[in-house]
Structures are given as structure tokens and as C-alpha cells.
Structure 1
Amino acid sequence: MRTRHSTAARASNGALHTGDTDAAGIEPFDDVSEHDAPNHVDHVDRANGVRGMNGASLASPLASPDNDSHHEPLSPDDPLAPLPFNPYKGNRGVTRAWHAMKNSLAGFRVAIREESAFRQELTLAAILIPCGVLVPVDPVSRVLLLGSVMLVLIVELLNSSVEAAIDRISLERHELSRRAKDLGSAAVMVALGMCVMTWVLIVGPLVVRWVKAWL
């Protein structure tokens, strides 16, 4: 009895609903919006960033530069991703300069103690730099003489840092490790060649003139 009553009730409600719909003259799925009233669907579509009723393509708020909360997080490999926090980079101003100077002096001490090539080049620089200061040449030539010597030391320090980084990663023999160290040695050789060429072209004529005058 309860099942029949429920079925009859649903049929009665359906009849009433159909009658109300027929009385209004509107089908259940007809568009009830008026021509003069604002289109609610179009308004919702514009808010959701989809194509509206007039067929125009509407911009999505996800594409707005102001709405950054919906953007996907950048991967660590993305160049625009923020760098990870480094606790050793927190110094600013005079404190940063002081720590940088201490680290630089520590680097010089390590290079002198551990790198025989740097010691040899530093000895050569101790001879050539006073000669470059005392030789009677114009200021531009003097800068070239001194700069070529300093360039050798700079490249040697960079080469030593590359070798230390490679040894920190692994001490095993690897083709890429050997290539990196060979490239650093090639850079040092180029710097040495540039230094020799500069001194020969600038100081060489002066030495020849002095030798001829002495003979």
C-alpha cells in the first residue's frame, strides 16, 4: 500500500507540475530569458572565462597577470624559479665585504699551499711586476705588461677551482672530468702565451736597443 501511494503521489505531482508548465506556456527546457534583460548565462560565461552567447572568445582570469594564485609552481629547472635559500648569502654591506676579503685571502693561502703551478706563476709575477713598473714605457703599455701577468694568475686560480670542484664530485677517472681539467689547462696556456707575446712586443725592442747601446 505504501508503494502504491508513493507512486500515485509522484504521478499526481508530475501532473500538477506539467499543468503548471502548460499553464505558463513554457516547455521545461525553454530559454526563459527576455531579450531586454541581461543574459545570465553570458554573464556566467564571462565570469568563468569561456565563450559567451554571442560567440566571442572571452579571456580567462587564469591568463590574467594579476591572478598569480592559480599559476602552477615553477620547477627548479625553470630560469624564472626563485633560487633556494642560501644561509651563507645573508651578509650585506660592510659585513659582506669583510667576509669576502677573508674568503679571498683564504683562497690565496690554499692556492699557495696546495697548487705548485700557482706558486711557480706567482714567483714569475714577483719578478715581472717590478720590471713592468720600472721599464720606461707609456702608461698604456705599462698597463698591458702588468695586466698580462695578472691575467695568468687569474686564469690559474679559476683552473684550480674547477679542478677542486671536479675532485669534490668524484675522484674516479671519467672522460668529462678529464675534458674539464684539460680545458682549464688550455686556458692557462693561452694566458701564458698572451703574457709572453705582450712582453716580447713591448719590452723586446727596448732590450734590443739597450744591448746595441751597451755593445
Structure 2
Amino acid sequence: MANILHRIKAYLYDNVLTKDNPNDFTARTVSERSLNVQQICQAAVSRGGADISASSMEHATELFLKEMAYQLCDGFSVNTGYFTASTTIRGVFDSPSETFNKDKHSIIFQFNQGEKLRSEIPNIEVNILGVAESSAVILQVTDVKSGSVNDLLTPGRNLKIVGSKIKVAGEDASIGVFFVDATTQARTKVDSSDIVTNNPSEVMVVIPTLPAGTYNLEVVTQYGGGTLLKDARTATLDKILTVV
């Protein structure tokens, strides 16, 4: 029997990503919070008993990550044991002589779990808290230009947003699709004319002209099925999106 060291909580949501069974659900973990490098290094010292200071560990980690990024940009693959990373080119080349075109092709970095991280899975206990309350939720977004899921944004191109009860409805100025700068909290609203598809389980928008940086995605709506709700609901993607 596995030694349970970790516990994850999750709620169930209607599964809108598959069409074969209209009555099935998908589990979504309840994230306590997002940890940065500094916080992880501090925890390694206070909880894990690391034999160096948190600041020294943070400095070394930042050096490692910077060098890892450099090597990935030169086309090398990385295997840390905990995750693998590689550089991938997206897009179609129509002939053997066609060269890379930034307007047609894109470069993305792919990360996957490694053996050391995978070996921890038997030590995790999952506690299903039941079906989530009936509210708007964003389950997944796809940058249509790059094909990136829950990661990259290509300004001026389409973003497919999949979720539950995310149809944009309501006349108040607070209603709409917003990209929120993760650093400054500045909010950029998608023009209503740039909402290409507007359904309860799928919204397609044209990504605004956003500067390079990281963003949270929000859908604010009064959609409540057949009627408008009195108060707006906000669905926030639990992943950070990046404009490079």
C-alpha cells in the first residue's frame, strides 16, 4: 500500500470537452495558491531541512533556469528527472524549400512530467468534494495560431475558450472577456465585435493587441441559462497566459 504523503482536493464539473457522454464530469483541483521560486526555496529550508540558505538556493535555481532556457533556445532537450522540456516548431510548411515564417509558424516550449515526479503519484490521495456549485468556469483555452493549450497568446489571432456557463451576457460595462496583466493588474477588455463565438460552453475571441507579458483570463457574465442573473459571475482561468 502506498504511503500517503500528499492530499489534493477537487470539485467535479460538467465535462464539456467530450461529447460522447452528456452526463459525465471532469475533476478540477482546488489550488491553494501559486508558489514562486522564492517561496519554494523557503519551504525547502523550513520544511524540507535543506542544508543551505533559502536565498542561496533561490540564486542557484535562477541560474539553472536561466541556463536551461538558453540551451532550449539552442534546440537542446532537457531532462531533469522531474520534468522534460523541448523546443517545438508549430505550423505547416507547404514545400521543401519553404523557410520559417513568423507570421505562419511559431516556436513553443513543451514540458512533460519526468520519472521522478511520476513516481510521487502513488503517494497522493485525491479527495473529491462533490459537484461544484452551478457557476461559470473556464476549463481550457487554446491559442488557435500556435496550437498552445493554457499557455501562449498570439495577439490579433483567435483564442478558443472552453468551459461551463461562460456565454457573455449582460449590458453592464463590467461584462465581457478580459485579459488582466499579472504584474500591473491592468485590464484589457475584448471588444464586443471581436467575440467571434459566444456559446455557454465555448467562447471564441480575437486576442487584443497586448504587450509582451503574463496575463490572467477572465470571463465576466450574467448568463444563467434561460435568464440573466441579477449579479455578474467571474470565471478565471487557473493558468497564467503569456505573450512573448
TM-score w.r.t. structure 2 length? 0.21
* Greater RCO structure (CA 8 Å; 6+ sep): 2
Higher helix share: 1
**TM-score with structure 1 length normalisation?**
0.23
